[in-house]
Amino acid sequence: MERIGLFGGTFDPVHCGHLAIAEQAAEELHLEQMLFIPAPDPPHKRKTVATYGQRVAMLELALADHHRFSVSLLESELPAPSYTVDTLIELRKRLTGQFYFLIGADSLLDLHLWHRLDELLKLTNFAVISRPGIEITAMQKVLAQLPGGFLSNDTKQLRWQRADGTEFVLLVNRLKEDVSSSEIRAQVQQNKTTALLDRRVTEYIAREELYALPNKYDTHHT
């Protein structure tokens, strides 16, 4: 059965941190493919700056050299708002495989608030990326309290599973710094160059004049 990573988010814009996390998950979980699923109308976040079409275009540019990575437009076909459980139900109709949904440790701490959680936990495995300031012990405590009785099944307590086979894998983030799209947008607004964006994405932002970026922006960084 093919192992498929699922990476949802606004990607406003997609940056090197997103790609590094996806690469790490693909390597450590032996994934055959990774689907980036941009949200047209994220229910728990503020309105995006770039349009859905612009965010998709930036993703396609950033993923051009990554043969295992591709963009899924599935959520644009579903009724708003874009709840993860609805996305996974539709993916199950279209794809056969073992899913691993990527989330940050901060999202894990809020997982009990996610829409139709009991149903969601039956549809996918989760790969949880550590975040600065959130201890592994805090993540383990959350996992132990999730519905269905998740228990650790390895000595390092980085892989948790319940009776139906659904598992959570905790991935220790290899990035030295916590990169965020909001910080990158702030840099762009201040006319600062950044190595955190793919060169093609930087050039696209300049052409579209996104994030208050002037046309004279330096696009020589990768």
Q: What is the mean pLDDT of each run of 10 residues along the chain (222 residues)?
A: 96 96 97 97 79 97 97 95 93 97 96 95 97 90 90 86 93 86 89 88 93 51 35
Please choose, from the candidates 41, 52, 49, the residue with its C-alpha nearest in 3D space to the C-alpha of residue 80: 41
Please report the pLDDT score of residue 176 as a whole number: 75
Q: Following DSSP, what letter does each residue of 99-155 receive, concatenated?
A: EEEEEEHHHHHTGGGSTTHHHHTTT-EEEEE--TT--HHHHHHHHHHSTT--EE-ST
Please report the pLDDT score of residue 54 as a whole number: 98
- Which structure tokens are listed for 171? 């991935």
What's the predicted TM-score (pTM) here? 0.91
CA distance 107 to 103: 6
Please report the pLDDT score of residue 43 as a whole number: 67
CA distance 49 to 181: 11
The CATH topology of domain 3-171 is: Rossmann fold (3.40.50)
Please choose, from the candidates 86, 93, 118, 110, the residue with its C-alpha nearest in 3D space to the C-alpha of residue 8: 86
Please report the pLDDT score of residue 213 as a whole number: 46
Please choose, from the candidates 139, 131, 126, 197, the residue with its C-alpha nearest in 3D space to the C-alpha of residue 166: 126
Please report the pLDDT score of residue 100 as a whole number: 98
CA distance 201 to 219: 9
